[in-house]
Amino acid sequence: MTMAHSEYDYDLFVIGAGSGGVRASRIAAGHGARVAVAEEFRIGGTCVIRGCVPKKLLVYASQFADDLAHASDYGWTIEGARFDWPALRDAVARDVDRLNAAYTRTLDSNKVDHFLERAEITGPNSVRLKQSGRTITAGTILVATGAWPVMPEFPGAEHCITSNEVFHLETLPSRVVVAGAGYIAMEFAGIFNALGCDVTIVNRSAKILRGYDTDLSDRLLAITRARGIAYRFDASFEGVEKQEDGSLLVHLGDGGEPVPADVVLVATGRRPNTAGLGLETAGITLGAHGEIPVDSDGRTACPTIFAVGDVTDRVQLTPVAIREGHAFADARFGGKATSVSYDAIPSAVFSQPPLAAVGLTEAEARDRYENVRVFTSDFRPMKNVFSERIERGYYKLVVDGATDRILGIHMIGPDAPEILQAAAIAVKAGLTKADFDATVALHPSMAEELVLMR
């Protein structure tokens, strides 16, 4: 066990009280370490305060629009249905407040001190709190400051918002332009589209959801176009002009007409939140995108400073940050050598319809293996039987032909993320296509398609 010396104010000082920082703090304190955390905004971090949790609540709300539209097909008569954006916005804000309080109680119950102000590193074992000016020393410093939305430079960028501000819109916009086509862009485009807004996605390339299997992204593109989302591909922002009536006009570099909008949401990526942290005072050089290089234990170039989560050069996912924080605390303060495995990490896009994946895409598998077998199921989900929109689900198994081991699972359709979580266990465990074939189907369900592909 590597405990710090008593001459320091704390054994561990954590900068950032998000998912990774809170987990590391709680576990380290449980091992007997004296721990403090500094957080300049709200305890809970991006995921809880302005990311995946409130966004998922918006997704649920927007899906009611589709369910209500088809309710009559199932015998329901619903009169006077209307949507109230302020009611939803405020309900989501109240839940964020609840979670912020819950995370704060977690720190308190584990006797972790917390400072609601920005902290900057002033050396290998010291930080300075910006508002109070107080200097605090610690045997170990953990940086868990996460990432921040990127706002590119173009004329009129000040009129645009990012995913940080989207949860606080005063009114529901009639016209939304979304810059980018990654998972954040596609999720918010789906939300606004379902709530009745006119949505245009602008992207520099002609591909959405880079990194996901092409069969899934191509299908999502076709479905969202059929649902009314417009796309301007191979287009860059030339500028955003504010009109006399307060609306916006988006000028693009593709030679086409400008796009009118009430809200322009820029979702072109996230950058590690390292600006002004003072890492250079401890001899730490950042990567090209502002990320902190770390070794397999989360250690930086300075032996007393560690980093976990989105601020590092690893995987930007909340569950990964939690595991890294836990492993760090166990190894540093609990005497437990723990490593984090980065293979077979499941991920999902809560688009409409959602998609989910784990393991290698077909293209990745063919690059690494000589004999790759692919099994697919293209089906109409029972949930969509009465719908006028012909939206089909699609599942794909990518298999190593030499060993029969499943290398990847890729799914698009209703409830795909919920199904994928269980299926990811099979990929992580190294199960084979024969194992899937030997499993009896659960009928009628969409998930049964996973064991019926031949």
Measure the CA–CA gap between 312 and 320, rounded to whole angstroms: 11
Q: What is the pLDDT, as a whole number, of residue 2?
A: 46
Domains of the chain by residue range:
10-149+271-333, 157-268, 347-451
Q: What is the pLDDT, as a whole number, of residue 94?
A: 96
Per-residue pLDDT, averaged over 142-149, amounts to: 96
Each residue of 164-218: pLDDT tens digit? 999 999 999 999 999 999 999 999 999 999 999 999 999 999 999 999 999 999 9
Q: Does 244 appear as a known binding residue?
A: no
Q: Does 180 appear as a known binding residue?
A: yes
pLDDT: which is higher, 146 or 386: 146
Per-residue 3-state assignment (H helix, E strand, C coil) for 279-338: HHHHCCCCCCCCCECCCCCCECCCCCEEECHHHECCCCCHHHHHHHHHHHHHHHHCCCCC
Given the residues 168, 326, 410, 443, the one annotated as active site: 443
Question: In CATH, what number does 347-451 get?
Answer: 3.30.390.30
Q: Is 278 a residue whose pLDDT tops 50?
A: yes
Return the closest-CA partner of residue 218 out of 368, 406, 415, 363.
363
Q: Does 269 appear as a known binding residue?
A: yes
Find the farthest-apart pair of alpha carbons in the chain and give their distance in angstroms, rounded.
Answer: 72
The question of whether 443 is a catalytic residue gets the answer: yes
Per-residue pLDDT, averaged over 390-394, amounts to: 91
Each residue of 341-353: pLDDT tens digit? 999 999 999 999 9
Measure the CA–CA gap between 300 and 286, rounded to whole angstroms: 10
Q: Does 325 appear as a known binding residue?
A: no
> Where residue 337 falls among pLDDT bands split at 50, 70, 90?
confident
> pTM of whole model > 0.85?
yes
Q: Does 139 appear as a known binding residue?
A: no
- Give the number of other CB atoms < 10 A from CB of residue 53: 18
β-strands 126-129, 135-143: how paired?
A: antiparallel
Q: Do domains 10-149+271-333 and 157-268 have the same CATH topology?
A: yes
Measure the CA–CA gap between 311 and 371, rounded to whole angstroms: 37
Return the closest-CA partner of residue 58 out of 97, 88, 82.
88
Return the closest-CA partner of residue 114 out of 82, 90, 81, 136.
136
Q: Is the peptide bond before 272 cis (omega within 30 degrees of 0)?
A: no
Each residue of 34-92: pLDDT tens digit? 999 999 989 998 888 889 999 999 999 999 998 998 888 899 999 989 999 999 999 99
Per-residue pLDDT, averaged over 240-257, amounts to: 94
Looking at mean pLDDT, say which of 5-9, 47-51, 398-402 comes out highest: 398-402
CATH topology (fold) of 10-149+271-333:
FAD/NAD(P)-binding domain (3.50.50)
Give the ranges where 110-212 is alpha helix by DSSP (H). 183-194
Pick the CATH number of 157-268 from 3.50.50.60, 3.40.50.720, 1.10.10.10, 3.30.70.20: 3.50.50.60
> Where residue 1 falls among pLDDT bands split at 50, 70, 90?
very low
Q: Does 186 appear as a known binding residue?
A: yes
Q: What are the CA-CA distances from residue 98 to residues 21, 22, 41, 44, 95 (Å)?
A: 19, 16, 15, 10, 5
Q: Does 329 appear as a known binding residue?
A: no
